[in-house]
Amino acid sequence: MAHYKKLIGKKCYLSPCSIEDAEKWTEWDNDMEVALPLGDEAYMLYSLDKEKEIIADVIKKQDHVFVIIDLQTDTMIGHCALFVVDRVDRKAMFGISIGDKSYWNKGYGQEATKLILDYGFNLLNLNSIMLGVFSYNQRGVNCYKKVGFKEIGRRRQARIIGDKKYDIILMDILAEEFESVYVKKVMDKQSG
Ligand SMILES: CC(C)(COP(=O)(O)OP(=O)(O)OC[C@H]1O[C@@H](n2cnc3c(N)ncnc32)[C@H](O)[C@@H]1OP(=O)(O)O)[C@@H](O)C(=O)NCCC(=O)NCCS
């Protein structure tokens, strides 16, 4: 699998995705521990063919989807994206999945999130980026808080699993609240 260093951090980098990534994506989306915090991945059937179609569509539409690569080993560990990009009001939604569970709780989620926010705020010139996270996903909530997202509200009982109902927590971050982790560094180098 060929990956390319588009946005580089200390632990990981973000690369465009390619069709060959589909096999890993299929494995992850069929892993219930990864899929349950995500959403429809838990109950929809994600086959290899479907994942290939999804990635082909991303490439065709030039969607803002990146794979997350461990810098040290060059291993693909997950993916993240900005979607529903609104050019008029300069806002977008954010989503992330670290499918390789051996990388959980090691700061990769926080760093990958900062890298894609840098891309969103400083290259797409967005002003507001929002996400939704299920109330049972404390790892996710903590990860986003540490990056600078703030809770702005909840959609109550919007997730039903068995006989339990959970809220979706909405969180956002503004451009003025974010400090560049990579783009500024490259710009400073360019301008001497
Ligand atoms: C959510 C996700 C992106 C977070 O990435 P990560 O690399 O595991 O998280 P990080 O290590 O960067 O940060 C998580 C923080 O939450 C903490 N944490 C972990 N589990 C926790 C729990 N059950 N309760 C409270 N805090 C928790 C970690 O200790 C860490 O904080 P720290 O830096 O102070 O130690 C990743 O775990 C993932 O993709 N999970 C599966 C799919 C998913 O949930 N996607 C997001 C849907 S909104």
Query: pLDDT class for 192, splitting at 50, 70, 90?
Result: confident
pTM of the predicted protein model: 0.98
For residue 47, pLDDT beyond 80: yes
* Mean pLDDT, rounded, of the chain: 97
Measuring from atom 35 of ligand 1, which residue has the nearest CA? 105
Query: pLDDT class for 113, splitting at 50, 70, 90?
Result: very high
Containing H/E element for 185? helix 183-190
Please identify, by atom number, the ligand 1 atom nearest to the C-alpha of residue 137.
44
Whole-number percent of the chain with pLDDT over 70: 100
- How many angstroms is it from 9 CA to the middle of ligand 1? 18
Which is nearest to 4 in space by CA: 15, 20, 17?
A: 15
Give every strand in the sheet of 7-8, ordered side by side. 7-8, 12-16, 64-70, 76-86, 91-98, 128-134, 164-174, 150-161
Please identify, by atom number, the ligand 1 atom nearest to the C-alpha of residue 35.
42
- How many angstroms is it from 185 CA to the middle of ligand 1? 27
Query: pLDDT class for 1, splitting at 50, 70, 90?
Result: confident
pLDDT of res. 49: 98
Query: pLDDT class for 13, splitting at 50, 70, 90?
Result: very high
- The structure tokens listed for 129 are 């980026």
Average pLDDT over residues 34-44: 96
Distance, CA of 181 to CA of 117 (rounded, Å): 9
Average pLDDT over residues 116-123: 98
Distance, CA of 118 to CA of 124 (rounded, Å): 9
pLDDT, tens digit, for every residue of 53-108? Answer: 999 999 999 999 999 999 999 999 999 999 999 999 999 999 999 999 999 999 99
Average pLDDT over residues 24-49: 97
Domains of the chain: 7-190 (3.40.630.30)
* CA distance between the termini of the chain: 35
Distance, CA of 175 to CA of 61 (rounded, Å): 25
Provide residues with CB under 6 Å of ligand 1: 34, 37-38, 78, 96-98, 104-110, 133, 137-140, 142-143, 146
- The structure tokens listed for 111 are 């760093």
Q: 30 in helix, strand or coil?
A: coil
- How many angstroms is it from 162 CA to the middle of ligand 1? 24
Query: pLDDT class for 191, splitting at 50, 70, 90?
Result: confident
Which is nearest to 183 in space by CA: 65, 6, 3?
A: 6
Q: Which of 127-131, 144-148, 188-192 has the lowest average pLDDT?
A: 188-192
Measuring from atom 5 of ligand 1, which residue has the nearest CA? 109
Whole-number percent of the chain with pLDDT over 90: 98
Q: Please spell the DSSP secondary structure of 34-80, one letter per residue.
A: HHTTTSGGGTS---HHHHHHHHHHHHHHT-EEEEEEETTT--EEEEE
